[in-house]
Chain A
Amino acid sequence: MNRQTVAQLIGAGKKRGAVQALAEVDLTIAAGEVYALLGPNGAGKTTAISLLLGLLRPDSGEARLFGLAPQELAARRRIGVMLQSAGLPDTLTVGELLAQVRSYYAQPRSLADVAALAGIEPLLGTRHARLSGGQQRRVEFALAICGRPELLFLDEPTVGMDTESRGQFWQTIRELVAGGCAVVLTTHYLEEAEALAQRIGVLMLGRLVAEGSLDAIRARVGQRQIRCVSSLSAEQVRAWPLVQSVQREGERLHIVTPQPEPVLRELLAADAQLHDLEVQRAGLAEALQTITREAA
Protein backbone atom coordinates (compact mmCIF):
# COMPACT_ATOMS: atom_id res chain seq x y z
CA MET A 1 0.00 0.00 0.00
CA ASN A 2 1.94 3.03 -1.22
CA ARG A 3 -0.91 5.46 -1.02
CA GLN A 4 -1.13 7.95 1.78
CA THR A 5 -2.44 6.60 5.08
CA VAL A 6 -5.49 8.42 6.43
CA ALA A 7 -6.25 6.40 9.56
CA GLN A 8 -4.31 3.87 11.52
CA LEU A 9 -4.40 1.67 14.59
CA ILE A 10 -0.93 0.55 15.69
CA GLY A 11 -0.89 -2.38 18.11
CA ALA A 12 -4.01 -0.92 19.67
CA GLY A 13 -5.50 -2.58 22.76
CA LYS A 14 -8.51 -1.50 24.81
CA LYS A 15 -10.26 -2.99 27.83
CA ARG A 16 -13.97 -2.23 28.37
CA GLY A 17 -14.65 -3.20 31.97
CA ALA A 18 -13.13 -6.62 32.50
CA VAL A 19 -13.29 -7.54 28.82
CA GLN A 20 -10.35 -7.10 26.45
CA ALA A 21 -12.44 -5.48 23.72
CA LEU A 22 -9.51 -4.99 21.39
CA ALA A 23 -6.05 -6.60 21.49
CA GLU A 24 -2.97 -5.74 19.43
CA VAL A 25 -4.91 -4.57 16.42
CA ASP A 26 -2.99 -3.10 13.47
CA LEU A 27 -5.17 -1.45 10.89
CA THR A 28 -4.32 0.93 8.07
CA ILE A 29 -6.78 2.82 5.91
CA ALA A 30 -5.37 4.33 2.73
CA ALA A 31 -6.63 7.48 1.03
CA GLY A 32 -9.60 6.83 -1.23
CA GLU A 33 -10.30 3.21 -0.28
CA VAL A 34 -13.43 1.63 1.19
CA TYR A 35 -12.54 -0.56 4.15
CA ALA A 36 -15.24 -2.73 5.70
CA LEU A 37 -14.83 -3.90 9.27
CA LEU A 38 -16.81 -7.08 9.80
CA GLY A 39 -17.32 -9.49 12.66
CA PRO A 40 -19.96 -10.83 15.03
CA ASN A 41 -21.51 -8.67 17.78
CA GLY A 42 -19.02 -7.92 20.51
CA ALA A 43 -16.05 -8.53 18.21
CA GLY A 44 -14.69 -5.04 18.84
CA LYS A 45 -15.88 -3.14 15.75
CA THR A 46 -17.39 -0.24 17.69
CA THR A 47 -14.36 -0.07 19.98
CA ALA A 48 -12.04 0.11 16.96
CA ILE A 49 -14.11 2.92 15.42
CA SER A 50 -14.28 4.75 18.76
CA LEU A 51 -10.46 4.67 19.01
CA LEU A 52 -10.08 6.05 15.47
CA LEU A 53 -12.59 8.82 16.26
CA GLY A 54 -10.90 9.72 19.54
CA LEU A 55 -13.98 8.86 21.62
CA LEU A 56 -11.82 6.32 23.47
CA ARG A 57 -8.08 6.28 24.10
CA PRO A 58 -6.18 3.04 23.64
CA ASP A 59 -4.71 1.36 26.77
CA SER A 60 -1.79 0.21 24.64
CA GLY A 61 -0.62 1.10 21.15
CA GLU A 62 -1.83 4.11 19.22
CA ALA A 63 -4.64 5.51 17.10
CA ARG A 64 -3.86 8.05 14.38
CA LEU A 65 -6.00 10.16 12.06
CA PHE A 66 -4.12 11.85 9.22
CA GLY A 67 -0.96 11.30 11.26
CA LEU A 68 -2.33 13.15 14.30
CA ALA A 69 -4.01 12.10 17.52
CA PRO A 70 -7.74 11.74 16.75
CA GLN A 71 -8.53 14.24 19.52
CA GLU A 72 -6.87 16.98 17.42
CA LEU A 73 -9.50 19.22 15.86
CA ALA A 74 -7.28 19.60 12.77
CA ALA A 75 -7.53 15.85 12.14
CA ARG A 76 -11.26 15.61 12.77
CA ARG A 77 -11.98 18.54 10.45
CA ARG A 78 -11.08 16.12 7.63
CA ILE A 79 -13.58 13.42 8.60
CA GLY A 80 -17.32 12.87 8.52
CA VAL A 81 -19.15 10.62 10.95
CA MET A 82 -22.37 8.61 11.02
CA LEU A 83 -22.78 6.64 14.25
CA GLN A 84 -25.33 3.96 15.05
CA SER A 85 -27.49 6.31 17.09
CA ALA A 86 -27.41 10.07 16.80
CA GLY A 87 -30.28 11.23 19.04
CA LEU A 88 -30.52 14.51 17.15
CA PRO A 89 -32.65 17.20 18.81
CA ASP A 90 -36.32 16.74 17.87
CA THR A 91 -37.31 20.40 17.83
CA LEU A 92 -34.72 21.59 15.30
CA THR A 93 -35.36 21.43 11.55
CA VAL A 94 -33.21 19.42 9.17
CA GLY A 95 -31.88 22.67 7.70
CA GLU A 96 -30.87 23.91 11.15
CA LEU A 97 -29.15 20.63 12.00
CA LEU A 98 -27.20 20.83 8.74
CA ALA A 99 -26.23 24.45 9.37
CA GLN A 100 -24.94 23.45 12.78
CA VAL A 101 -22.65 20.68 11.54
CA ARG A 102 -21.60 22.65 8.44
CA SER A 103 -20.35 25.37 10.81
CA TYR A 104 -17.73 22.93 12.17
CA TYR A 105 -15.90 22.81 8.82
CA ALA A 106 -13.75 25.33 6.95
CA GLN A 107 -15.19 24.68 3.49
CA PRO A 108 -18.43 22.74 3.79
CA ARG A 109 -20.52 21.58 0.85
CA SER A 110 -23.32 23.95 -0.05
CA LEU A 111 -26.66 23.20 1.55
CA ALA A 112 -28.16 22.46 -1.87
CA ASP A 113 -25.38 19.98 -2.75
CA VAL A 114 -25.68 18.11 0.53
CA ALA A 115 -29.45 17.94 0.29
CA ALA A 116 -29.23 16.59 -3.27
CA LEU A 117 -26.53 14.02 -2.44
CA ALA A 118 -28.43 12.69 0.56
CA GLY A 119 -31.85 12.97 -1.12
CA ILE A 120 -33.35 15.21 1.58
CA GLU A 121 -34.31 18.33 -0.42
CA PRO A 122 -38.00 18.21 0.59
CA LEU A 123 -37.10 17.74 4.27
CA LEU A 124 -35.02 20.85 4.97
CA GLY A 125 -37.85 22.71 6.71
CA THR A 126 -39.09 19.66 8.63
CA ARG A 127 -38.44 19.20 12.32
CA HIS A 128 -36.44 16.12 13.22
CA ALA A 129 -39.30 14.71 15.32
CA ARG A 130 -41.49 14.38 12.20
CA LEU A 131 -39.02 12.29 10.18
CA SER A 132 -39.44 8.55 9.57
CA GLY A 133 -36.65 6.19 10.61
CA GLY A 134 -35.30 5.98 7.06
CA GLN A 135 -35.43 9.76 6.64
CA GLN A 136 -33.53 10.19 9.92
CA ARG A 137 -30.76 7.94 8.60
CA ARG A 138 -30.54 10.02 5.42
CA VAL A 139 -30.29 13.20 7.49
CA GLU A 140 -27.54 11.63 9.60
CA PHE A 141 -25.76 10.73 6.37
CA ALA A 142 -26.13 14.31 5.15
CA LEU A 143 -24.50 15.51 8.37
CA ALA A 144 -21.66 13.05 7.79
CA ILE A 145 -20.85 14.29 4.28
CA CYS A 146 -21.56 18.01 4.65
CA GLY A 147 -17.96 18.90 5.49
CA ARG A 148 -16.40 17.44 2.31
CA PRO A 149 -14.65 14.76 4.37
CA GLU A 150 -11.58 12.95 3.06
CA LEU A 151 -12.50 10.06 5.32
CA LEU A 152 -16.02 8.99 6.15
CA PHE A 153 -16.91 6.75 9.11
CA LEU A 154 -20.15 4.84 8.62
CA ASP A 155 -21.23 2.64 11.53
CA GLU A 156 -24.10 0.40 10.38
CA PRO A 157 -25.33 3.09 7.99
CA THR A 158 -28.27 1.34 6.31
CA VAL A 159 -30.03 -0.19 9.33
CA GLY A 160 -33.69 0.86 9.00
CA MET A 161 -33.50 1.65 5.28
CA ASP A 162 -35.66 -0.11 2.70
CA THR A 163 -34.04 -1.87 -0.24
CA GLU A 164 -34.51 1.04 -2.63
CA SER A 165 -33.03 3.62 -0.24
CA ARG A 166 -30.14 1.26 0.41
CA GLY A 167 -29.40 1.00 -3.33
CA GLN A 168 -29.46 4.80 -3.68
CA PHE A 169 -27.27 5.10 -0.62
CA TRP A 170 -24.68 2.73 -2.09
CA GLN A 171 -24.72 4.72 -5.33
CA THR A 172 -24.01 7.94 -3.43
CA ILE A 173 -21.14 6.31 -1.54
CA ARG A 174 -19.64 5.14 -4.86
CA GLU A 175 -19.83 8.71 -6.19
CA LEU A 176 -18.08 10.06 -3.11
CA VAL A 177 -15.39 7.39 -3.35
CA ALA A 178 -14.91 8.21 -7.03
CA GLY A 179 -14.28 11.76 -5.85
CA GLY A 180 -11.45 10.53 -3.61
CA CYS A 181 -13.19 10.02 -0.26
CA ALA A 182 -12.06 7.06 1.86
CA VAL A 183 -14.67 5.14 3.87
CA VAL A 184 -14.51 3.00 6.99
CA LEU A 185 -17.68 0.94 7.11
CA THR A 186 -19.08 -1.46 9.66
CA THR A 187 -22.12 -3.42 8.64
CA HIS A 188 -24.17 -6.50 9.38
CA TYR A 189 -25.26 -6.70 5.75
CA LEU A 190 -22.59 -8.69 3.95
CA GLU A 191 -24.00 -7.71 0.57
CA GLU A 192 -23.25 -4.13 1.61
CA ALA A 193 -19.58 -4.96 2.17
CA GLU A 194 -19.55 -6.91 -1.11
CA ALA A 195 -21.14 -3.98 -2.95
CA LEU A 196 -18.85 -1.28 -1.59
CA ALA A 197 -15.63 -2.49 -0.01
CA GLN A 198 -12.24 -2.91 -1.65
CA ARG A 199 -10.68 -4.24 1.53
CA ILE A 200 -12.14 -6.13 4.43
CA GLY A 201 -10.95 -6.68 7.99
CA VAL A 202 -12.52 -9.39 10.11
CA LEU A 203 -12.58 -8.84 13.87
CA MET A 204 -13.17 -11.69 16.25
CA LEU A 205 -12.99 -11.41 20.05
CA GLY A 206 -11.00 -8.19 19.75
CA ARG A 207 -8.42 -9.49 17.28
CA LEU A 208 -8.05 -8.87 13.57
CA VAL A 209 -8.22 -12.48 12.33
CA ALA A 210 -8.25 -11.79 8.59
CA GLU A 211 -7.63 -8.85 6.33
CA GLY A 212 -7.42 -8.44 2.59
CA SER A 213 -9.23 -7.63 -0.61
CA LEU A 214 -12.75 -8.95 -1.09
CA ASP A 215 -11.38 -11.63 -3.45
CA ALA A 216 -8.59 -12.59 -1.07
CA ILE A 217 -11.08 -13.01 1.78
CA ARG A 218 -13.38 -15.09 -0.42
CA ALA A 219 -10.40 -17.18 -1.50
CA ARG A 220 -9.67 -17.97 2.15
CA VAL A 221 -12.43 -20.44 1.61
CA GLY A 222 -10.92 -22.53 -1.17
CA GLN A 223 -13.89 -24.79 -1.64
CA ARG A 224 -16.52 -24.79 -4.33
CA GLN A 225 -19.97 -26.09 -3.84
CA ILE A 226 -21.54 -28.50 -6.31
CA ARG A 227 -25.29 -28.96 -6.26
CA CYS A 228 -27.18 -31.36 -8.49
CA VAL A 229 -30.14 -33.70 -8.66
CA SER A 230 -28.77 -37.24 -8.73
CA SER A 231 -29.64 -40.76 -7.68
CA LEU A 232 -26.10 -41.46 -6.44
CA SER A 233 -25.88 -42.12 -2.73
CA ALA A 234 -24.02 -39.75 -0.45
CA GLU A 235 -21.81 -42.59 0.85
CA GLN A 236 -20.75 -43.51 -2.67
CA VAL A 237 -19.68 -39.97 -3.57
CA ARG A 238 -17.97 -39.40 -0.24
CA ALA A 239 -15.52 -42.22 -1.09
CA TRP A 240 -14.17 -40.35 -4.14
CA PRO A 241 -10.89 -38.42 -3.95
CA LEU A 242 -11.04 -34.61 -3.45
CA VAL A 243 -14.52 -34.74 -1.95
CA GLN A 244 -14.62 -32.92 1.40
CA SER A 245 -18.22 -33.48 2.38
CA VAL A 246 -21.49 -34.64 0.88
CA GLN A 247 -25.01 -34.03 2.07
CA ARG A 248 -28.33 -35.08 0.65
CA GLU A 249 -31.13 -32.54 0.78
CA GLY A 250 -34.18 -34.32 -0.61
CA GLU A 251 -33.37 -35.32 -4.19
CA ARG A 252 -30.37 -32.95 -4.34
CA LEU A 253 -26.78 -33.73 -3.53
CA HIS A 254 -24.66 -30.98 -2.00
CA ILE A 255 -20.91 -31.62 -2.45
CA VAL A 256 -18.06 -29.46 -1.11
CA THR A 257 -14.64 -29.78 -2.76
CA PRO A 258 -11.43 -27.75 -3.12
CA GLN A 259 -11.19 -28.72 -6.81
CA PRO A 260 -14.49 -29.22 -8.64
CA GLU A 261 -13.33 -30.33 -12.10
CA PRO A 262 -12.25 -33.98 -11.37
CA VAL A 263 -15.29 -34.49 -9.14
CA LEU A 264 -17.57 -33.24 -11.93
CA ARG A 265 -16.05 -35.67 -14.44
CA GLU A 266 -16.70 -38.59 -12.08
CA LEU A 267 -20.21 -37.38 -11.31
CA LEU A 268 -21.23 -37.10 -14.95
CA ALA A 269 -19.68 -40.48 -15.74
CA ALA A 270 -21.37 -42.24 -12.80
CA ASP A 271 -24.89 -40.83 -13.31
CA ALA A 272 -26.17 -40.24 -16.83
CA GLN A 273 -29.49 -38.92 -15.45
CA LEU A 274 -27.80 -36.16 -13.40
CA HIS A 275 -29.38 -32.73 -13.94
CA ASP A 276 -29.82 -29.21 -12.48
CA LEU A 277 -26.06 -28.94 -12.00
CA GLU A 278 -24.67 -25.83 -10.22
CA VAL A 279 -21.09 -25.02 -9.25
CA GLN A 280 -20.57 -22.07 -6.91
CA ARG A 281 -17.66 -20.34 -5.43
CA ALA A 282 -18.07 -19.61 -1.71
CA GLY A 283 -19.45 -16.13 -0.99
CA LEU A 284 -18.43 -13.66 1.68
CA ALA A 285 -20.89 -15.21 4.13
CA GLU A 286 -19.32 -18.67 3.81
CA ALA A 287 -15.84 -17.14 3.99
CA LEU A 288 -16.70 -15.30 7.21
CA GLN A 289 -18.21 -18.41 8.74
CA THR A 290 -15.04 -20.35 7.98
CA ILE A 291 -12.73 -17.60 9.24
CA THR A 292 -14.62 -17.07 12.47
CA ARG A 293 -14.92 -20.82 13.06
CA GLU A 294 -11.17 -21.25 12.60
CA ALA A 295 -10.45 -18.30 14.89
CA ALA A 296 -12.79 -19.38 17.67
Chain B
Amino acid sequence: MITTPFDAIARRSLALEARLEFLRLLRTPSFAIPALMFPVLFYLLFGVLLARPGASGRAAHYLMATYSVFGVMAPGLFGFGVSVATERDKGLLALRRALPMPPLNYVGGKLAMAMLFAAIIVSMLCIAGAAVGGVRLEAAQWLSLLVLMVFGALPFCALGLLVGSFVNGQAAPAVINLIYLPMALLSGLWFPLNLLPAFIQQLAVLWPAWHLAQLGLAATGQGGEGAMSAHLLYLAVFTVAVGRWAARRLQREP
Protein backbone atom coordinates (compact mmCIF):
# COMPACT_ATOMS: atom_id res chain seq x y z
CA MET B 1 0.00 0.00 0.00
CA ILE B 2 1.43 3.33 -1.03
CA THR B 3 1.02 6.04 1.58
CA THR B 4 0.95 9.64 0.43
CA PRO B 5 1.32 11.99 3.37
CA PHE B 6 -0.09 15.49 3.11
CA ASP B 7 2.47 16.85 5.53
CA ALA B 8 3.94 20.30 6.11
CA ILE B 9 6.24 19.96 3.08
CA ALA B 10 3.31 19.06 0.85
CA ARG B 11 1.17 21.97 2.09
CA ARG B 12 3.90 24.58 1.65
CA SER B 13 4.77 23.16 -1.72
CA LEU B 14 1.15 23.25 -2.92
CA ALA B 15 0.85 26.95 -2.09
CA LEU B 16 4.00 27.72 -4.09
CA GLU B 17 2.91 25.48 -6.94
CA ALA B 18 -0.41 27.33 -7.23
CA ARG B 19 1.33 30.70 -7.29
CA LEU B 20 3.81 29.59 -9.98
CA GLU B 21 1.09 28.00 -12.10
CA PHE B 22 -0.83 31.30 -11.99
CA LEU B 23 2.31 33.31 -12.85
CA ARG B 24 3.23 30.90 -15.64
CA LEU B 25 -0.12 31.39 -17.38
CA LEU B 26 -0.31 35.10 -16.61
CA ARG B 27 3.01 35.45 -18.51
CA THR B 28 1.69 33.44 -21.47
CA PRO B 29 0.04 36.10 -23.64
CA SER B 30 -1.73 33.58 -25.89
CA PHE B 31 -3.60 32.41 -22.80
CA ALA B 32 -3.83 35.43 -20.53
CA ILE B 33 -5.04 38.03 -23.05
CA PRO B 34 -8.01 36.09 -24.45
CA ALA B 35 -8.91 34.57 -21.09
CA LEU B 36 -8.86 37.85 -19.17
CA MET B 37 -9.97 40.33 -21.84
CA PHE B 38 -12.39 38.61 -24.25
CA PRO B 39 -15.31 38.04 -21.85
CA VAL B 40 -15.39 41.65 -20.68
CA LEU B 41 -14.78 43.07 -24.19
CA PHE B 42 -17.56 40.94 -25.71
CA TYR B 43 -19.80 41.89 -22.82
CA LEU B 44 -19.20 45.61 -23.34
CA LEU B 45 -19.73 45.21 -27.09
CA PHE B 46 -22.85 43.02 -27.16
CA GLY B 47 -24.31 43.71 -23.72
CA VAL B 48 -23.80 47.46 -23.58
CA LEU B 49 -22.80 49.17 -26.87
CA LEU B 50 -24.84 47.13 -29.36
CA ALA B 51 -27.76 46.31 -27.06
CA ARG B 52 -31.11 47.38 -28.53
CA PRO B 53 -32.20 50.65 -27.02
CA GLY B 54 -35.44 50.27 -25.11
CA ALA B 55 -34.54 46.78 -23.89
CA SER B 56 -33.84 48.71 -20.67
CA GLY B 57 -30.63 46.94 -19.68
CA ARG B 58 -32.02 43.43 -20.04
CA ALA B 59 -29.18 42.37 -22.32
CA ALA B 60 -26.64 43.85 -19.94
CA HIS B 61 -28.21 41.93 -17.09
CA TYR B 62 -28.58 38.59 -18.92
CA LEU B 63 -25.15 38.67 -20.56
CA MET B 64 -23.36 39.55 -17.33
CA ALA B 65 -24.43 36.17 -15.96
CA THR B 66 -23.83 34.18 -19.15
CA TYR B 67 -20.51 35.82 -20.04
CA SER B 68 -19.39 34.93 -16.53
CA VAL B 69 -19.92 31.29 -17.53
CA PHE B 70 -18.12 31.92 -20.84
CA GLY B 71 -15.29 33.55 -18.88
CA VAL B 72 -14.75 30.81 -16.28
CA MET B 73 -14.79 28.05 -18.91
CA ALA B 74 -11.51 29.30 -20.42
CA PRO B 75 -9.09 28.87 -17.50
CA GLY B 76 -10.55 25.41 -16.86
CA LEU B 77 -10.53 24.20 -20.45
CA PHE B 78 -7.34 25.89 -21.69
CA GLY B 79 -5.42 26.12 -18.42
CA PHE B 80 -5.85 22.39 -17.84
CA GLY B 81 -6.27 21.04 -21.35
CA VAL B 82 -3.42 22.73 -23.18
CA SER B 83 -1.04 22.62 -20.20
CA VAL B 84 -1.57 18.95 -19.40
CA ALA B 85 -1.32 17.93 -23.06
CA THR B 86 1.93 19.89 -23.50
CA GLU B 87 3.48 18.76 -20.22
CA ARG B 88 2.65 15.14 -20.98
CA ASP B 89 4.24 15.53 -24.44
CA LYS B 90 7.43 17.26 -23.42
CA GLY B 91 8.29 15.03 -20.47
CA LEU B 92 7.58 17.51 -17.66
CA LEU B 93 4.82 15.31 -16.23
CA ALA B 94 7.23 12.34 -16.09
CA LEU B 95 9.93 14.45 -14.41
CA ARG B 96 7.50 15.74 -11.80
CA ARG B 97 6.28 12.23 -11.06
CA ALA B 98 9.85 11.01 -10.68
CA LEU B 99 10.70 13.92 -8.38
CA PRO B 100 9.15 13.79 -4.92
CA MET B 101 6.32 16.13 -5.96
CA PRO B 102 3.48 15.70 -3.48
CA PRO B 103 0.71 13.96 -5.48
CA LEU B 104 -1.91 16.69 -4.92
CA ASN B 105 0.40 19.37 -6.29
CA TYR B 106 -0.13 18.76 -9.96
CA VAL B 107 -3.90 19.04 -10.11
CA GLY B 108 -4.19 21.14 -6.96
CA GLY B 109 -1.91 23.88 -8.28
CA LYS B 110 -3.81 24.06 -11.55
CA LEU B 111 -7.20 24.10 -9.77
CA ALA B 112 -6.14 27.04 -7.66
CA MET B 113 -4.88 28.82 -10.78
CA ALA B 114 -8.20 28.26 -12.62
CA MET B 115 -10.28 29.46 -9.66
CA LEU B 116 -8.15 32.58 -9.24
CA PHE B 117 -8.50 33.42 -12.95
CA ALA B 118 -12.25 32.75 -12.65
CA ALA B 119 -12.53 35.16 -9.73
CA ILE B 120 -10.70 37.90 -11.66
CA ILE B 121 -12.76 37.41 -14.82
CA VAL B 122 -16.11 37.44 -12.99
CA SER B 123 -15.08 40.46 -10.93
CA MET B 124 -14.24 42.37 -14.12
CA LEU B 125 -17.63 41.48 -15.61
CA CYS B 126 -19.42 42.53 -12.43
CA ILE B 127 -17.60 45.87 -12.39
CA ALA B 128 -18.44 46.43 -16.08
CA GLY B 129 -22.07 45.43 -15.46
CA ALA B 130 -22.46 47.76 -12.50
CA ALA B 131 -20.47 50.67 -13.94
CA VAL B 132 -21.68 50.86 -17.53
CA GLY B 133 -24.34 48.13 -17.92
CA GLY B 134 -26.67 49.61 -15.35
CA VAL B 135 -26.98 46.30 -13.50
CA ARG B 136 -28.23 46.75 -9.92
CA LEU B 137 -28.04 43.80 -7.54
CA GLU B 138 -28.09 43.18 -3.78
CA ALA B 139 -24.69 42.62 -2.15
CA ALA B 140 -25.65 38.99 -1.50
CA GLN B 141 -26.44 38.50 -5.20
CA TRP B 142 -23.08 39.86 -6.35
CA LEU B 143 -21.36 37.63 -3.83
CA SER B 144 -23.32 34.52 -4.77
CA LEU B 145 -22.55 35.07 -8.49
CA LEU B 146 -18.85 35.33 -7.68
CA VAL B 147 -18.75 32.24 -5.44
CA LEU B 148 -20.90 30.25 -7.86
CA MET B 149 -18.65 31.04 -10.81
CA VAL B 150 -15.39 30.41 -8.96
CA PHE B 151 -16.61 26.88 -8.17
CA GLY B 152 -18.35 26.73 -11.54
CA ALA B 153 -14.91 26.58 -13.14
CA LEU B 154 -14.41 23.08 -11.72
CA PRO B 155 -16.44 21.03 -14.26
CA PHE B 156 -14.46 22.70 -17.03
CA CYS B 157 -11.18 21.93 -15.24
CA ALA B 158 -12.23 18.27 -15.26
CA LEU B 159 -13.14 18.45 -18.95
CA GLY B 160 -9.84 20.18 -19.78
CA LEU B 161 -7.93 17.52 -17.84
CA LEU B 162 -9.70 14.81 -19.84
CA VAL B 163 -8.91 16.47 -23.18
CA GLY B 164 -5.29 16.93 -22.05
CA SER B 165 -5.05 13.22 -21.28
CA PHE B 166 -6.14 12.33 -24.84
CA VAL B 167 -4.56 14.77 -27.29
CA ASN B 168 -1.02 16.10 -27.74
CA GLY B 169 0.09 19.66 -27.10
CA GLN B 170 -0.09 20.65 -30.77
CA ALA B 171 -3.71 19.54 -31.20
CA ALA B 172 -5.01 20.62 -27.81
CA PRO B 173 -5.88 24.30 -28.56
CA ALA B 174 -7.87 23.32 -31.67
CA VAL B 175 -9.72 20.50 -29.94
CA ILE B 176 -10.56 22.70 -26.97
CA ASN B 177 -11.84 25.53 -29.18
CA LEU B 178 -14.07 22.98 -30.89
CA ILE B 179 -15.60 22.20 -27.51
CA TYR B 180 -15.52 25.71 -26.04
CA LEU B 181 -17.10 27.85 -28.75
CA PRO B 182 -19.95 25.52 -29.87
CA MET B 183 -20.82 24.76 -26.24
CA ALA B 184 -20.99 28.50 -25.50
CA LEU B 185 -23.37 29.05 -28.41
CA LEU B 186 -25.53 25.98 -27.72
CA SER B 187 -25.80 26.83 -24.02
CA GLY B 188 -27.16 30.31 -24.71
CA LEU B 189 -24.14 32.17 -23.40
CA TRP B 190 -24.04 34.69 -26.28
CA PHE B 191 -27.81 35.19 -26.71
CA PRO B 192 -30.88 33.52 -25.25
CA LEU B 193 -31.63 30.04 -26.58
CA ASN B 194 -35.17 30.95 -27.64
CA LEU B 195 -33.59 32.64 -30.66
CA LEU B 196 -32.36 29.20 -31.81
CA PRO B 197 -34.31 26.21 -33.20
CA ALA B 198 -36.30 24.12 -30.72
CA PHE B 199 -34.14 20.99 -30.98
CA ILE B 200 -31.08 22.99 -29.96
CA GLN B 201 -32.99 24.21 -26.91
CA GLN B 202 -33.80 20.59 -26.06
CA LEU B 203 -30.16 19.54 -26.37
CA ALA B 204 -29.10 22.23 -23.90
CA VAL B 205 -29.57 19.97 -20.87
CA LEU B 206 -26.50 18.04 -22.04
CA TRP B 207 -24.06 20.91 -21.66
CA PRO B 208 -22.51 21.77 -18.30
CA ALA B 209 -22.27 25.40 -19.43
CA TRP B 210 -26.09 25.59 -19.79
CA HIS B 211 -26.58 24.27 -16.24
CA LEU B 212 -24.07 26.75 -14.83
CA ALA B 213 -25.76 29.56 -16.81
CA GLN B 214 -29.16 28.72 -15.28
CA LEU B 215 -27.58 28.90 -11.83
CA GLY B 216 -25.95 32.21 -12.75
CA LEU B 217 -29.24 33.67 -14.00
CA ALA B 218 -30.98 32.54 -10.81
CA ALA B 219 -28.24 34.05 -8.65
CA THR B 220 -28.70 37.41 -10.36
CA GLY B 221 -32.47 37.37 -9.95
CA GLN B 222 -33.36 36.42 -13.54
CA GLY B 223 -35.11 33.14 -12.88
CA GLY B 224 -33.29 30.47 -14.82
CA GLU B 225 -34.95 27.31 -16.05
CA GLY B 226 -35.43 24.09 -14.08
CA ALA B 227 -34.70 23.20 -10.46
CA MET B 228 -31.51 24.68 -9.07
CA SER B 229 -30.74 21.50 -7.12
CA ALA B 230 -30.87 19.51 -10.38
CA HIS B 231 -28.31 21.85 -12.00
CA LEU B 232 -25.99 21.57 -9.01
CA LEU B 233 -26.32 17.79 -8.99
CA TYR B 234 -25.60 17.58 -12.72
CA LEU B 235 -22.47 19.73 -12.38
CA ALA B 236 -21.21 17.79 -9.36
CA VAL B 237 -21.72 14.41 -11.03
CA PHE B 238 -20.16 15.69 -14.28
CA THR B 239 -17.09 17.02 -12.44
CA VAL B 240 -16.48 13.85 -10.45
CA ALA B 241 -17.13 11.43 -13.31
CA VAL B 242 -15.04 13.30 -15.91
CA GLY B 243 -12.31 14.09 -13.37
CA ARG B 244 -11.97 10.45 -12.35
CA TRP B 245 -11.91 9.31 -15.96
CA ALA B 246 -9.11 11.81 -16.66
CA ALA B 247 -7.19 10.79 -13.53
CA ARG B 248 -7.38 7.14 -14.51
CA ARG B 249 -6.05 7.93 -17.97
CA LEU B 250 -3.20 10.05 -16.63
CA GLN B 251 -2.13 7.36 -14.17
CA ARG B 252 -1.83 4.79 -16.94
CA GLU B 253 1.69 3.96 -17.97
CA PRO B 254 2.95 5.78 -21.04
Contact = CB atoms under 8 A, between A and B. Distances in A.
A39 to B, nearest CB: 21
Contacts of B95: 81, 83, 86-87
B240 interface: no
A103 B94 contact: no
Given A76-B100, A87-B90, A89-B92, A57 B16 contact: no
B2 A71 contact: yes
Contact of A83 (B27, B28, B98): B98
Interface of B: 2-5, 9, 12-13, 16-17, 20, 23-24, 27-28, 86-87, 89-92, 94-95, 97-103, 253-254
Contacts of A79: 100
Main SS of the interface on chain A? loop
A147 B100 contact: yes
Interface stretch (A25-33, A91-99, A255-263, A288-296): A91-99
A144 B5 CA distance: 22
B102 A104 contact: yes
Contacts of A96: 20, 23
A73 B100 contact: yes
A100 B253 contact: no
5 contacts: A55-B254, A76-B100, A87-B86, A91-B28, A103-B13
B99 A92 contact: no
Contacts of A252: none
Interface of A: 53-57, 69, 71-74, 76-77, 79-81, 83-89, 91-92, 96, 99-101, 103-106, 127, 143, 147, 153
A104 B92 contact: no
A96 B22 CA distance: 12
Contacts of A72: 2-3
A32 B160 CA distance: 44
Contacts of A106: 9
Given A54-B98, A72-B2, A104-B102, A83 B17 contact: no
